Amino acid sequence: MYGLVASGLSLIFGVLRIINFAHGAVMMLGMYTSYWLFVLLGLDPYLSIVITGPLFFAIGLLIQRVVIEPNRHAAEHNQLLLTLGVALFFENLALVLWQGDFRTVRTSYSGASFLVADVLVEVPRLVAAAGAVLIALGLWGFLRTTDVGKAIRALSEEPEGARLVGVNVSRIRGVAFGIGSACVAVAGALVTPFFYIAPDVGESFNIMAFVVVVLGGMGNFFGALAGGFIVGLAESLGAAFLPGSLKQLVVFGLFVIVLLLRPEGLFGTRRGR
């Protein structure tokens, strides 16, 4: 799960070279969308992906166009602050519109689970994980085969070269952001059957996504997936041994250690200073 969120983030970083703080907020919005679609239209969250995905692609594109693109020559830290601004805006918009109470989506299979060996496997989580993997594979295929995908990869590896061969830079940047946002919104939808929904939910996923991306290497797609796996594992291990929310410490500790020892991530390539 973390992997999907993180790959979206990684994509955005790779192409736009900014760290998108608003990522978590978009996920949160994805979750709310899913929720409302379910409550108002009785639409199953998994099916709603069909709506959520494209919707947030458009929203992401919009954000990129309106907020980020005009400022793309600004100092790096200012761009960071821009995404922070977007995040703050969305998170609190949600707070204003929908209050801070938790909501949940309960579907017929929300509580379903089965035993594999001695391990309890919850159906919703399994579906989410499977969905994540599927989407990730689809994304990978997209990046590899389609023109747009190749353009994105070109832009993230060699901005100048890409421009020279006629890649429409600003359009691709928008598309990348859109895809990244769609990914994360879909992740949100996948997660709704078993996770609570609240405006601040984006924040914790945000941080986790950052950890994953740093772990896997900024801009490295597979690294993000692998990183997601590692983080999920670390968190579970932490949960097994430590009480309460302390398990997050394990992940944070890992984060700090990786940042210190291998800032380019476990799979990343060093990109100068």
Partner 1 sequence: MVARLALLLVAAALVALPPLLPKYALEVLISIMFFGYLGACWNILGGYGGQFSFGHAAFFGLGAYTSTLLFLHWGITPWLGMLAGGVLAAAFGLFAGYLSFRYGLRGPYFSLVTLAFAEMLRVVAVNWKAVGSSLGLVVPNRGSAPALFLFAEKLPYYYVIFTMVVGALLITRAMERARMGYALAAIRENEDAAEAAGVDALSTKLAAMALSSFLTALGGTFYAQYFAYIDPSLTFGTAISIGGLLPAIVGGAGTVAGPLLGSFVLTPISELTRAVLRGRAGADIMLYGLVLILVISFLPNGLVGWIRGRRAAGVRA
What is the smallest separation between the CB atom of 242 and partner 1, expressed in angstroms? 9
3-state SS, the chain, equals CHHHHHHHHHHHHHHHCCCCCCHHHHHHHHHHHHHHHHHHHCCCHHHHHHHHHHHHHHHHHHHHHHHHHHHCCCCHHHHHHHHHHHHHHHHHHHHHHHCCCCECCCCCCCCCEEEECCEEEEHHHHHHHHHHHHHHHHHHHHHHHCHHHHHHHHHHHCHHHHHHCCCCHHHHHHHHHHHHHHHHHHHHHHHCCCCCECCCHHHHHHHHHHHHHHHHCCCCHHHHHHHHHHHHHHHHHHHHHCCHHHHHHHHHHHHHHHHHHCCCCCCCCCCCC
**Which lies closer to partner 1 via its Cβ, residue 105 or residue 211?**
211
**With contacts defined by CB under 8 A, how many residues of the chain interact with partner 1?**
49
Is position 210 an interface residue for partner 1 (rule: CB under 8 A)?
A: yes
What is the smallest separation between the CB atom of 246 and partner 1, expressed in angstroms? 5
Is position 165 an interface residue for partner 1 (rule: CB under 8 A)?
A: no
**Which lies closer to partner 1 via its Cβ, residue 62 or residue 259?**
259
Tell me which of 199, 202, 223, 265 binds partner 1, using CB under 8 A.
199
Is position 59 an interface residue for partner 1 (rule: CB under 8 A)?
A: no
Tell me which of 91, 132, 183, 226 binds partner 1, using CB under 8 A.
91
Binding part of the chain for partner 1, among 26-34, 71-79, 161-169, 189-197 by CB under 8 A, reads: 71-79
CA distance 68 to 180: 14
Is position 273 an interface residue for partner 1 (rule: CB under 8 A)?
A: yes
Binding part of the chain for partner 1, among 38-46, 74-82, 121-129, 137-145 by CB under 8 A, reads: 74-82
Binding mask 232-251 for partner 1 (x = CB under 8 A): -----------xxxx-xx--
**Which lies closer to partner 1 via its Cβ, residue 95 or residue 233?**
95
Q: Are 250 and 40 in contact (CB under 8 A)?
A: no
> Which residues contact partner 1 (rule: CB under 8 A)?
18-19, 67, 70-71, 74-78, 80-82, 84-96, 99-100, 199, 203, 207, 210-211, 214, 243-246, 248-249, 252-253, 255-256, 259-261, 263, 273
